[in-house]
Structure formats: structure tokens, C-alpha cells
Amino acid sequence: MLAQGITYNTSMGLAAGAFMLLLFMFIRVVQQPGRRSIDGWAWMFVALGFFLAVTGTHMTLTWPLKQIPGAGCCAVDNVTFGEPAMFFGFLIFFGAIAIMRAEKAALDRGLELDLVATVRPFLYAGAFGGIGLIMFAVAGLEFGMWAPAPPDEPIARLMGTSILERFFVAGAYAITGLAAITGAFAAEHRVVARIFAVALFIAGMMWTFLSFTLFYGHVGFFPFPH
């Protein structure tokens, strides 16, 4: 891992997973009668979106992750990890700002915030990104991107040559893509809304769990002297 230079995709995965789980909670909050301002929620989304946008842009443009001998990943992480983080990070960032501005305008006029109308353009854009995530899942399996981990990796190596890890990562991409696609149409269709909610929650749990393992695994990956 030292050959990779600065590696920060641990926090990127955590931010992505946290966003999805908190978005799941946010949807429940805004549906409650007599709710108060959602300004705090919007600022939280601004922070997560800004983090993903900045780190994703850096990873996309500088390609800091180099191929590790014996690992099936890393050489194209700027595409499969950096670009989605950048794309969705900017959508989250500006979508949250749009929510704050729309809520302020509604309060000034004595009107109720039309949250769906405010975020709908961002949801449509996100649906296109969701298709890309599904294509990443298919391509990752097809071209062996998530091959068995190198022996120095302390957690993933426990799976040995099992296909479990590659299907887990591919599933995280695919389910996230499904959530992004269905999110654009969830407001008008109850069945689609249920699919969106389930996919959003599962994807959030998968990315959060994966990031937690990386917080341990990426530290153990460094060849400390004995």
C-alpha cells in the first residue's frame, strides 16, 4: 500500500454510506406532521457532499492509487471510485444548498416547502449516475477487478479465493445504482418508493460496513517492521 501514496478511500466509503443511511432517516423526518426546519439536515448533506466532491475530484484527476502486485483493484479506482464520488458529491452538495434556499424562500413567503420539486432535477441527474454504477458492477465482475485480496490485507484475505468479496462489492455498486435510479421516480409511485427505500438502506449498510473493515484493513496493510 505504500506504493499507492496517500490513500483516503476509507473515509470516502464511510461518507457515502453515511449519506445513504442519513438520507433514509431524513425522508422519514420530512414526512412527519408538524416538522420544524430541516436546515440542520441540509448543512449535514452539504458537508458530506463537499467531502465526496473534493476527494472524488482529486482522485479522478490525479490518479493517486497505483496498481498493487497481486491485487485485482486499484489501477482503475480513479474511474470506479473517484468519479462516482465526484459526480454524486457535487449533486449532494448543490442539492443541499438548493433545499436551504428553497426553505428560506418558502418561509419568507409564508408557504410550505415543496421538497420534491426542489430536489427533482438532482434526482434525475442521479438516475443517470445510477446506471453508471450498475455498469461498474457488471464490468468489475467481468474483468476481475475485485479479485482475491493480496495476502497482506488483514481482513479480505480471510476470504481466500472465495467469490464472496467480489460479489459483495459488485452488489454494493449495483444496489446503490438501483437506489439512484428509483429515487427519481419514488415520489409518484408507491412500489418504486418501497424499492428505493429498501435499496437505499441496504446500500448504505453495505458501504458503511465495507468502510469499517477498511479502517482496520488499510492500517494493517502497511508493512510495519517487526
pLDDT tens track for 180-224: 999 999 999 999 999 999 999 999 999 999 888 888 777 766 554
Domains of the chain: 2-218 (1.25.40.600)
| DSSP class of 223 | -
Cα–Cα distance measured from residue 41 to residue 191, given in angstroms and rounded to the nearest whole number: 26
What does the block give as the cell for 55?
A: 476527494
Cα–Cα distance measured from residue 96 to residue 94, given in angstroms and rounded to the nearest whole number: 5
Cα–Cα distance measured from residue 20 to residue 47, given in angstroms and rounded to the nearest whole number: 14
pTM: 0.86
Task: Locate all alpha helices (DSSP H) within 110-163, ordered by sequence.
Answer: 115-142
Given a cut of 80, is residue 98 above it in pLDDT?
Answer: yes
Cα–Cα distance measured from residue 54 to residue 35, given in angstroms and rounded to the nearest whole number: 32
Which positions ≥6 away from 206 have C-beta within 8 Å? 17, 168, 171, 172, 175
Residue 33 confidence (pLDDT): 79
